[in-house]
Amino acid sequence: MYIYLLSAPIWFSKLPILKDYLDPMVLDYLVWPLVQIGLLLFVVLTLIAYLTLAERKISAWIQVRIGPNRVGPQGLLQPLADGIKLLIKEDLIPLKADKGIFIVAPIIAMVAALVSLAVIPWGAAWATISNIDVGLLFILAVSSFGVLGIILGGWASNSKYALLGALRSAAQMVSYEVPMGLALIGALMFTKTLALQDMVINQENLHIWNVLFQPLGFLIYLISGIAETNRAPFDLPEAESELVAGYHTEYSGFRFSLFFIAEYASMLIISAIAVTVFLGGWYLPGLSYILIPGSTLFVLASIGVFAFKTLVLLYVFFWLRWSLPRYRYDQLMELAWKWMIPASLANILLTATILVIAKEFGLIESQGNFLSISTAGYIFLIGTAFIITVPLTWIILGQINARSRDFNLREVEPLPMNRAKKNS
C-alpha cells in the first residue's frame, strides 16, 4: 500500500460487535477509515455551516450590530435555515450557459476542497485518517485543482461579470500558489519531511513550533493563503462592488452553496496547514506531561489543541475581512510578484544559509530524519530568524520596490484651509 493509513485505536478493535464478525485487518484498514471519513465529513461540514454563523456573528460584533438571532436560541439554527433555503431554491441554469461545465464546476470546487481533509493531522495517532509521505504536496496539488472549479464556473455562466471574476481568480490563484508553496519550503528544512503527521512529530521532538524558526515564512504563507482562498482584502474574484458576485454571479440555490462550502473548507484547510506546519499542529508544550502519550484522552486533547489553533487562525481570517478595504487587481498582482515571491525566495536562501552556518558550528546535527539542536542552536536559529531574515528581506525588497508606483504613496498631510475668509 502506498497510502499509509493509521491504524485504529485499540478500543475500536475491541468493540464487541465488530470484533466478532470482522477480521482485525479489515477493521483497521477498511472499517476504521470509513468511520473516520464519515465522522470527519460530518464534523467539518457542520463546522463550515457554523463558521458562516460565526462569521456573521463576528462581523456583527465588529460592526456594532447583533447579527442573526431569530432562528433558534441566539440564532444557533440559522445555518440550518440557510441550508434548507438554499436546497429548496429554484435551480437556475442560464439559457446560454455551457450546461455540462456549469454543473460540474461547483462539484470540482467542492471536491477539491474536501479531498484535502484526508491528510490533515487532526490529532495524535489514530485521529488522523492517513499520513501519506507527500502529504503537503498532495494538498498543494489538490488545492490547485480548486482553481479549475472557479474558472470553469465563471466561464460556463456565459456572463461578463462571471468571466471577469473567473479571469481574475485564475491569475490570482496561480500567482499566489507560488509564494504559498515556497513559504513552506523553509519550514520543510526543519521538519525534513513532507508527511504532515511527521511534521508535527518532528516539531514535538524539537519541542518547538516552527513559526519561531520561520516567522517570515509563516507571514508569507498566511497572506498567500488568504489570497488563495479569495478572502478579503483579496476577494477580487467576487468583489461585489465591482463584479456583482464574480464567478458565481449566475449561480443560485445549492450550486451556489457548493461554491460557498468550498470557500469555507479551503479556509479551514489553509488554517489547518498553517497550524500543522508552523504552529506545531496538535503539539502543545507540556501536554505530554499531563496526559499519557498515546492514550485516548491524550488523543482527544490533541484534537482539541489542533481545533483551537485552527479556530484562532480562522478568526484572523474573519477579522481581516471585516476591517480592511479591498486591493485592486493590479496591486494584488504587484503584491504577489514584487513582494511575496521575492520574499519567499529570500526566506529560503537565508534559512538555508543559516542552517549551513549552524551545522558548521555544530549547533545542529542531522540524525536521520530528525534534527537535533543544542540550546545555543535554538537561540541562534530563532535569533537569526527574527534579527536577520525578517529585517534583511524587508530592507532589500523595500529598496528594490522603491520605484514602484504604489510603494511611493505620498505622505499624508493635513489639508490647507480657507481660514474664516469673510466676504459678502
Partner 1 sequence: MRLVGLEAVIFYLFAVVAILFAIFMITARSAVHSALFLISTLVASAGLYFLLQAEFVAGVQILIYVGGVLVLFIFVIMLVNIKEEDTKIFNRQILIASILSFFLGLGIIAILLQTQKGNFFTLVSPLPPKIEQVQNSPNISQSHNISQNTIKIGQELYTRAVLPFEIASLVLLVAIVGAVRLARERKQEKIYD
Partner 2 sequence: MADITDITDITDIIEQENESNEMILSMGPQHPSTHGVLRVVLKLDGEIVTDLDCDIGYLHRGVEKICEHRNYQMIAPYFDRTDYIAAVSNGLCYVETIEKALNLEIPLRAQYLRVILVELNRLSSHLLWLATHALDIGAVTVFLWAFREREEILKIFENFFGARLTCHAFRIGGMTYDAYDGFQAQVKSFCDRFPKCLEDYETLLNTNRIWLSRTVGIGIISSDDAINIGLTGPPLRGSGVEWDIRKAHPYECYSDLEFDIPYGENGDTYDRYLVRMEEMRQSRRIILQALEKLPDGEVMAPKAPKTVKPPIGEYYHSIESPKGELGIYLVSDGSAQPARLRIRPPSFVNLQALRQMAIGHLVADVVAIIGTLDIVLGEIDR
| CA–CA gap between residue 178 and residue 224 (Å, rounded) | 9
State how beta strands 364-367 and 370-373 pair.
Answer: antiparallel
Contacts of 419 (CB under 8 A, 6+ apart): none
Size of the site for partner 1 (CB under 8 A): 56
Q: How far is the CB of 403 from partner 2 (least distance, A)?
A: 15
Candidate segments 57-65, 82-90, 94-102, 240-248, binder of partner 1 by CB under 8 A: 94-102
Q: Which does 240 bind (CB under 5 to 8 A by kind): partner 2, partner 1, none?
A: partner 2
Considering only residues 264 through 283, tell me which ones interact with partner 1, judged by CB under 8 A: none
User: By CB under 8 A, is residue 329 in contact with partner 1?
Assistant: no
**Where does residue 34 rank: exposed (0-12), middle (13-18), buried (19+ CB within 10 A)?**
exposed
Question: Under the rule (CB under 8 A), what is the footprint of partner 2?
Answer: 59, 62-65, 160-161, 164, 232-233, 235-236, 239-244, 321-331, 405-406, 409-410, 412, 415-424
Q: How far is the CB of 206 from partner 2 (least distance, A)?
A: 36
3-class state of residue 153 by DSSP: helix
SS3 letters across 195-244: CHHHHHHHHHHHCCCHHHHCHHHHHHHHHHHHHHCCCCCCCHHHCHHHHC
User: By CB under 8 A, is residue 397 in contact with partner 1?
Assistant: no
Binding mask 288-317 for partner 1 (x = CB under 8 A): -----xx-----------------------
Judge contact between 10 and 137, C-beta under 8 A. Answer: no
Dihedral over Cα of 236, 238, 241, 244: its sign: positive
Q: Which of 200, 219, 79, 81 is nearest to 135 (CA)?
A: 200
User: By CB under 8 A, is residue 145 in contact with partner 1?
Assistant: yes
Phi/psi at 130 (5° precision): -145, 155
Candidate segments 15-23, 200-208, 393-401, 409-417, binder of partner 1 by CB under 8 A: 200-208
User: Residues in the site for partner 1, rule: CB under 8 A?
Assistant: 1-2, 4, 6-7, 9, 25, 28-29, 98, 100-101, 104, 124-126, 131-134, 137-138, 140-145, 147-148, 151-152, 155, 163, 166-167, 170-171, 173-174, 177, 181, 193-195, 197-198, 201-202, 205, 293-294, 330, 368-370
